[in-house]
């Protein structure tokens, strides 16, 4: 693929290399011009590499978000669910790049967790309140991000 062919080339091009004084005169007025060009070239090359690999990271985050969301309602322990919500919250930077189905699923589960109860237990327990608060803050964060 294009990425596997470009990776060694990019690594070679962004590494610091000495330029000979003969070729410096043909392309650049002085060493300072070369330095400014090289820094800009390296920044552009790294940005190109970042953009090429970005879809791979987004696809992995979509899968991870689905897995976490599917596991949240399988537990009865509010502390465990709250920890899972923390993980989901850390992945919200990828929300603009995930599928609409996944986003809808995340919002639905977050709203369900905002009214979480445990059968046979007092609904005003500290752990349940914290979980509800955590789910509401995640919902707000999703709304602000997306």
d(CA 83, CA 91): 13
Q: pLDDT grade, residue 136 (50/70/90)? A: very high
Q: Quick one: average pLDDT of 85-98?
A: 80
Provide the number of structural domains found in the chain.
1
Q: What predicted TM-score, i.e. pTM, was given to this entire model?
A: 0.56
d(CA 129, CA 52): 43
Q: pLDDT grade, residue 122 (50/70/90)? A: low
d(CA 113, CA 88): 13
pLDDT above 80 for 142: yes
pLDDT in tens, 77-88: 788 888 888 888
**Residue span of the structural domain in which 31 resides:** 2-145
119 phi, psi to nearest 5 deg: -60, 130
Beta-carbon contacts of residue 73 (< 8 Å; ≥ 6 apart)? 81, 109, 112, 113
Residue pair 87/57 in contact (Cβ under 8 Å)? The answer is: no
Q: How far is residue 58 CA from its own chain's centroid?
A: 7
DSSP 8-state code for residue 30: S
């Amino acid at each position: 693929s294009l990425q596997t062919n470009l990776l060694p080339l990019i690594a070679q091009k962004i590494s610091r290399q000495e330029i000979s004084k003969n070729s410096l005169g043909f392309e650049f007025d002085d060493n300072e011009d070369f330095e400014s060009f090289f820094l800009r070239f390296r920044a552009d090359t790294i940005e190109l590499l970042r953009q090429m690999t970005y879809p791979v990271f987004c696809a992995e985050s979509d899968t991870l978000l689905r897995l976490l969301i599917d596991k949240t309602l399988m537990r009865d322990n509010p502390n465990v669910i709250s920890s899972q919500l923390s993980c989901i919250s850390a992945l919200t930077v990828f929300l603009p790049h995930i599928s609409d189905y996944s986003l809808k699923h995340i919002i639905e589960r977050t709203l369900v967790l905002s009214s979480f109860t445990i059968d046979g237990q007092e609904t005003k327990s500290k752990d349940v309140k914290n979980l509800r608060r955590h789910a509401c803050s995640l919902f707000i964060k999703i709304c602000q991000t997306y």
